[in-house]
């Protein structure tokens, strides 16, 4: 089957992080009471008119610049006409032939040799409401809170060759959008939604065969799974010479059943009758406006990773893990600032801190707490193992490590005088092991170390114990 390759293009809808909707002053807050965030404009009452929220254009321009797009100077909107109960005006204000941004690219990670995936366009548009079908009754309710929430639609070129690449692309894109504060990109709240177009062709061919659109994938992992599944379905049809059975259609991913199901075929495709929106005059984007937005883009993930490797001496694989979430990267920088120890900070981050994120939604320990903890360990006040216990405790408490160490009785014994007594007792009680050591069995040293630590319930400073044991055994 090596003779075939997969061709994938993505369409990503991203809700922009504005406070108010795209054409009215209503709030964009998620999780409000049904229809609480609505007004005559966003529910399309007769005679009302849209007024463009300029922040939307700003964020779209920013997104374009973050993924290397050309910014189009004339920003014109168009109407996309279709009937559906969640679309109050029976048209969506969108952009047809003059999107805000076009011709960009995004670079995939090292794993893909920095492959560039082309961005066809980014355009702004308004979101629709939400239908709620009641289970027991034959009733559909409509919540228009989402109607008029600003979106950008990002469309890629058919440059993606595998589910893996698609997954990597989405993660990279999300990072960039979150870093630039364009969107919070929460798939579970619907603020990032992804549809995929997929087809198969012979390697070396540059034709685009009949593509299938897949919808309703609720996480990046689902996108990955759905693409693998659809790729397999299409490949099998090719294998049996039945590729004519691949028809242009939209298939819905059913996560529960793990398969795609036909939603609608080309025959029911809409004619959207696009035409220029007469209620909104075109907005001309001045060069200075575009440049100002460009200079407002913060450091993006790739650049940050490079800087962490260069300035902090991190391993690239560690840096990649840290920059994966903007909040984690910010935490890390904060921690380094406090500890002045990038290596140690990175160790804690990629082990304990990331582990804690499996249990908590955000990092449960402040950078101040963790930096103090690192200091305690470095000063020998507690052992590294005891440090982990302190960390766990701090996950549910805002006490500083100094206090937690006392509460848990974890203070390390580093006083030579105190430890000498204990080590002496261990040696006296384990004459056999001492003999073994002296006769060349190095393993016995470990045993004696262990016994000493055990006697202090792990609180002994292992360095000091080691030093004392070596001294005494030499005698």
Partner 1 sequence: MYSVNEIKKGLEEKEFSTVEIVREYLEKIKKKDDKIKSFITLREEEALKEAEETDKKIASGKKLKILEGIPIGLKDNIATKGLKTTCSSKILEDFIPPYDAGAAIKIKEKGGIILGKLNMDEFAMGSSTENSAFFDTKNPWDLERVPGGSSGGSAAAVSAGFAPITYGSDTGGSVRIPASFCGVVGLKPTYGLVSRYGLIALASSLDQIGPFGKSVEDCIYGLKGVQGFDEKDSTSKDVKMPDYFKEIKKGIKGLKVGVPEEFFAHGIDKEVKEKVEYNIKILEKLGAHVEKFSLPITATGLSAYYIVSSAEASSNLGRYDGVRYGVRTDEYKSFKELIVKSRTEGFGEEVKRRIMLGTYALSSGYYDAYYKRAMIFRKKVEKLFDEAFEKYDVVVSPTLPVLPFKLGEKRSNPMEMYLSDTFTVNINLAGIPAVSVPAGFSKEGLPIGIQFIGDKFREDILFRFAYALEQEIKLNLNPWKEGR
Per CB under 8 A, residues contacting partner 1 are: 40, 43-52, 79, 81, 83-85, 88-91, 142, 271, 273-275, 278-281
What is the rounded distance in angstroms from the CA atom of residue 10 to the CA atom of residue 194?
7
Please report how close the Cβ of residue 102 comes to partner 1 at its closest, in angstroms: 22
Is 124 or 336 the residue whose CB approaches partner 1 more closely? 124
Four-CA torsion 144, 148, 154, 155, nearest 10 degrees: 70
Backbone dihedral angles phi then psi of residue 261, each to the nearest 5 degrees: -130, 140
Contacts of 211 (CB under 8 A, 6+ apart): 7, 9, 158, 197, 198, 199, 248
Please report, for residues 387, 412, 452, the alpha-carbon distance to residue 416 in angstroms, rounded to integers and kept in the order given.
Answer: 21, 12, 13
Q: E strands along 255-314, which residues?
A: 259-265, 275-276, 283-284
Please report how close the Cβ of residue 275 comes to partner 1 at its closest, in angstroms: 6
Please report how close the Cβ of residue 25 comes to partner 1 at its closest, in angstroms: 11
Angle at 388 between CA 385 and CA 392, to 5 degrees: 150
| Cβ atoms of 232 and 224 closer than 8 Å | no
Neighbouring-strand partners of residue 153: 13, 123
What is the rounded distance in angstroms from the CA atom of residue 239 to the CA atom of residue 245?
12
Is 51 or 337 the residue whose CB approaches partner 1 more closely? 51
Please report how close the Cβ of residue 84 comes to partner 1 at its closest, in angstroms: 7
Which of 382-399 are b and which e, b meaning 16 or more Cβ less than 10 Å from the residue's Cβ?
Answer: bbeebbbbbbbbbeeeee
Please report how close the Cβ of residue 308 comes to partner 1 at its closest, in angstroms: 46
Is 51 or 406 the residue whose CB approaches partner 1 more closely? 51
Is 52 or 212 the residue whose CB approaches partner 1 more closely? 52
Angle at 142 between CA 138 and CA 144, to 5 degrees: 175
Please report how close the Cβ of residue 250 comes to partner 1 at its closest, in angstroms: 18
Contacts of 359 (CB under 8 A, 6+ apart): 395
Q: What is the DSSP letter of 53?
A: -
Is 10 or 24 the residue whose CB approaches partner 1 more closely? 24
Please report how close the Cβ of residue 60 comes to partner 1 at its closest, in angstroms: 18
Question: How many Cβ atoms sit within 10 Å of the Cβ of residue 78?
Answer: 21
Backbone dihedral angles phi then psi of residue 457, each to the nearest 5 degrees: 55, 35
Please report how close the Cβ of residue 180 comes to partner 1 at its closest, in angstroms: 27
Tokens, residue 370: 């963790």
Please report how close the Cβ of residue 258 comes to partner 1 at its closest, in angstroms: 29
Is 79 or 326 the residue whose CB approaches partner 1 more closely? 79
Please report how close the Cβ of residue 43 comes to partner 1 at its closest, in angstroms: 6
Is 281 or 450 the residue whose CB approaches partner 1 more closely? 281
Is 202 or 266 the residue whose CB approaches partner 1 more closely? 266
Contacts of 363 (CB under 8 A, 6+ apart): 327, 328, 331, 353, 356, 357
Is 88 or 148 the residue whose CB approaches partner 1 more closely? 88
Is 139 or 207 the residue whose CB approaches partner 1 more closely? 139
């Amino acid at each position: 089957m090596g003779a075939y390759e997969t061709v994938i293009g993505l369409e990503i809808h991203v809700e922009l992080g504005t406070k108010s909707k795209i054409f009215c002053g209503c709030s964009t807050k998620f999780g409000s009471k049904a229809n609480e965030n609505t007004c005559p404009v966003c529910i399309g009452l007769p005679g009302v008119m849209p007024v463009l929220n300029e922040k939307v254009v700003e964020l779209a321009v920013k997104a374009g610049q973050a993924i290397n797009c050309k910014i189009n100077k004339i920003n014109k909107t168009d109407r996309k006409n279709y009937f559906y109960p969640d679309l109050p005006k029976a048209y969506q204000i969108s952009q047809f032939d003059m999107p805000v941004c076009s011709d960009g690219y995004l670079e995939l990670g090292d794993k893909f040799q920095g492959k560039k995936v082309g961005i066809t366009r980014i355009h702004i548009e308004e979101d629709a409401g939400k239908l709620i079908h009641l289970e027991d009754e034959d009733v559909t309710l409509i919540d228009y809170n989402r109607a008029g929430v600003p979106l950008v639609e990002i469309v890629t070129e058919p440059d993606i060759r595998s589910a893996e690449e698609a997954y990597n692309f989405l993660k990279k894109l999300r990072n960039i959008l979150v870093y630039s504060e364009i969107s919070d990109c929460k798939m579970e709240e619907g603020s990032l939604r992804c549809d995929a177009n997929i087809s198969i062709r012979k390697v070396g061919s540059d034709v685009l065969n009949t593509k299938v659109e897949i919808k309703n994938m609720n996480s990046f992992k689902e996108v990955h799974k759905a693409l693998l599944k659809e790729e397999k379905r299409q490949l099998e049809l090719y294998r049996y010479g039945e590729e004519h059975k691949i028809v242009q259609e939209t298939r819905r991913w059913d996560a529960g059943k793990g398969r795609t199901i036909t939603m609608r075929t080309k025959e029911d495709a809409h004619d959207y009758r696009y035409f220029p929106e007469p209620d909104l005059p075109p907005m001309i984007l001045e060069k200075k406006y575009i440049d100002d937005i460009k200079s407002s883009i913060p450091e993006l993930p790739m650049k940050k990773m490079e800087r962490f490797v260069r300035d902090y001496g991190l391993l690239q694989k560690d840096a990649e893990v840290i920059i994966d979430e903007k909040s984690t990267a910010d935490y890390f920088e904060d921690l380094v600032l406090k500890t002045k120890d990038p290596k140690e900070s990175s160790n804690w981050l990629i082990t304990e801190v990331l582990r804690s994120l499996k249990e908590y939604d955000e990092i449960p320990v402040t950078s101040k707490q963790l930096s103090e903890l690192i200091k305690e360990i470095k000063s020998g006040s507690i052992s590294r193992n005891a440090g982990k216990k302190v960390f766990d405790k701090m996950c549910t408490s805002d006490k500083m490590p100094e206090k937690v160490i006392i509460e848990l009785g974890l203070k390390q014994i580093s006083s030579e005088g105190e430890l000498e007594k204990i080590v002496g007792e261990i040696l006296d009680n384990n004459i056999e092991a001492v003999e073994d050591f002296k006769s060349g069995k190095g393993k016995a040293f470990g045993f004696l170390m262990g016994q000493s630590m055990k006697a202090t319930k792990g609180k002994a400073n292992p360095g000091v114990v080691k030093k004392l044991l070596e001294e005494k055994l030499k005698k």
